[in-house]
């Protein structure tokens, strides 16, 4: 082993024949958010299993007769909204000062749900469904479909540039000058550059009025991770996923599956049946107070799944 090989091994540098992929704009944005989440948010996760056998029957009945496109994802967003109304402290942003060990919880008036969607390229892309606290099920479904349709009319690179600029301004206003300068320099110079940031301020063609804007994809007040509805072929459960800083709560919906269970029939005879089970993972920031803040949310979900006829009134 010569000296160059020794140093390469010590630094874990790529070897000849390795493929190196540098972060694009999307990876830079999401990487920054997720890294901040892991560094700043101590969060436990609770695995909630819902018997949705009757709930699913009512959903199919509504979907058949409603006259509009109703996805299971839109329905679960409405479930999330009902849960947050019962536990409003979960619909909040937390600002915390690590140096002084103090912070403040900002309970948000509006419910803005951040959720991922699949692009034709196979990538996922975050969008934000705004102001759903007073929306009907139909309005949520139509609003979500409208946002998804607008993705095709959006210049993603241009939109991500605007979002990065907005976040850098936020860093600067919070006094994080070193972090801001580092991001600008790494985006403009060296092997990690993705494009010239000066392009943000050049004259560009007018934005398509039907395209997405930064407000449609920056941080919401809560996150709905819809892995199950997006991919009904997965067999595992979502056991944990990072919160999106500065949010304090996330609901991850898994894939519906059949499960056998033992019960007593009307004659009192022990029998075996099958029910539809939906795994849901609830992740929360432990600093907001603990599991007691999540219990009203869970009780509301219990009520909905045990009495699914109520969703007809949504």
Within a domain: residue 187? no
Query: What pLDDT, on the 0 to 100 scale, is given for residue 80?
Result: 96
What is the tally of structural domains in the chain? 1
Alpha-carbon distance of 307 to 301, in angstroms, equals 10
Within a domain: residue 237? yes
Q: How many helices (H) and strands (E) does the chain have?
A: 9, 9
Query: What pLDDT, on the 0 to 100 scale, is given for residue 59?
Result: 94
What's the CATH number where 141 sits? 3.30.559.10
Within a domain: residue 171? no
Query: What pLDDT, on the 0 to 100 scale, is given for residue 22?
Result: 59
Domain that holds residue 80: 39-146+215-313
What pLDDT tens digit does each residue of the chain (314 aa) get? 566 665 665 556 655 665 566 566 566 666 666 666 666 677 788 899 999 999 999 999 999 988 899 999 999 999 999 999 999 999 998 887 767 667 788 899 899 999 887 766 666 777 889 999 999 999 999 999 888 888 877 777 677 777 766 666 666 666 665 555 565 555 555 655 655 444 545 555 566 667 777 777 777 899 998 876 556 666 667 777 778 878 889 999 988 888 887 767 777 777 787 888 999 999 998 888 778 889 999 999 999 999 999 999 99
Alpha-carbon distance of 127 to 79, in angstroms, equals 18
Within a domain: residue 100? yes
Query: What pLDDT, on the 0 to 100 scale, is given for residue 226?
Result: 80
Strand locations in 202-246, DSSP E? 222-225
Within a domain: residue 15? no
Within a domain: residue 269? yes
Query: What pLDDT, on the 0 to 100 scale, is given for residue 292?
Result: 86
Within a domain: residue 8? no
Q: Which two tokens stand for residue 105?
A: 């919880």
Within a domain: residue 43? yes
């Amino acid at each position: 082993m010569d000296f160059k090989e020794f140093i390469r091994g010590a630094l874990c540098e790529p070897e000849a024949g390795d493929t190196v992929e540098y972060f694009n704009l999307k990876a830079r944005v999401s990487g920054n958010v997720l890294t901040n989440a892991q560094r700043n948010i101590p969060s436990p996760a609770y695995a909630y299993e819902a018997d949705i056998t009757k709930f699913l029957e009512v959903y199919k009945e509504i979907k058949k007769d409603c006259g509009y496109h109703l996805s299971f994802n839109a329905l679960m967003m409405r479930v999330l909204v009902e849960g947050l109304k019962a536990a409003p402290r979960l619909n909040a942003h937390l600002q915390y000062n690590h140096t002084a060990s103090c912070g403040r919880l900002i309970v948000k008036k509006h419910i803005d749900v951040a959720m991922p969607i699949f692009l034709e390229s196979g990538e996922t892309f975050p969008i934000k469904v705004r102001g759903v606290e007073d929306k009907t099920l139909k309005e949520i479904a139509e609003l979500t479909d409208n946002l998804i349709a607008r993705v095709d009319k959006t210049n993603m690179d241009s939109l991500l540039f605007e979002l990065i600029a907005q976040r850098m301004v936020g860093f600067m206003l919070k006094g994080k000058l070193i972090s801001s300068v580092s991001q600008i320099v790494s985006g403009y110079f060296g092997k990690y550059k993705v494009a010239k940031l000066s392009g943000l301020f050049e004259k560009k063609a007018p934005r398509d009025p039907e395209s997405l804007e930064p407000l449609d994809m920056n941080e919401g007040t809560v996150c709905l991770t819809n892995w199950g509805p997006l991919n009904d072929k997965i067999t595992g459960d979502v056991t944990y996923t990072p919160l999106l800083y500065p949010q304090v709560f996330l609901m991850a919906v898994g894939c519906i599956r059949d499960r056998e269970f033992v019960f007593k029939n009307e004659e009192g005879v022990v029998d075996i049946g099958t029910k539809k089970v939906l795994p849901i993972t609830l992740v929360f920031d432990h600093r907001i107070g603990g599991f007691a803040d999540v219990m009203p949310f869970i009780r509301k979900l219990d009520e909905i799944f045990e009495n699914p006829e109520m969703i007809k009134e949504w």
